[in-house]
Amino acid sequence: MKLLVAAVGRPKEAFILQGVASYLERLRPFMAASLTLIPDGRLGKLDRLRRMEAEGAEILKLLGDRDQLIVLDERGRTFTSEAFSKELFSQLDSSPGRLVLLIGGPWGISPQVKERASSLWSLSSLTFPHELALLVLAEQLYRAASIRAGTGYHHP
């Protein structure tokens, strides 16, 4: 099982990267998981559409033919932590390549990337800064693995 968390932009707050790294390290006994930060489209004075297109092109370059892409989007499917764990491992078990979970940039995800995605998932109906969404996702991935393994990290 290989999991790739991809996020557009680099978090500015050190504690975000430290927290994400900590949760991904905790995941190691359960699965191979890594983080890729995709450059945001802020180079130059690109308008919103061009930023999304530039970011989308970088995202699509990252994906292999066998990779399964899931876009995290506020309009996506929501889960309880237990249901998230079940769905995550179902997708990991059935994906022929990597399972790629993507957090887009502040302007959203290009239509080409959404078309490539197998589904949209939501972390919450609340809107989070992208940095915080990355940290929440990392924690939920660790929680999902803990639920599956029955370690007691998650207390229902």
21-76 pLDDT tens trace: 999 999 999 999 999 999 886 655 668 888 888 899 999 999 999 999 999 998 89
Q: Are strands 68-77 and 32-38 parallel, antiparallel or unpaired?
A: unpaired
- By the 10 Å C-beta count (0-12 exposed, 13-18 middle, 19+ buried), 154 is classed as middle
Digit-coded pLDDT (tens) for 80-106: 999 999 999 999 999 999 999 999 988
Helix (H, G, I), strand (E, B) or coil at 85: helix
Q: What is the pTM of this model?
A: 0.93
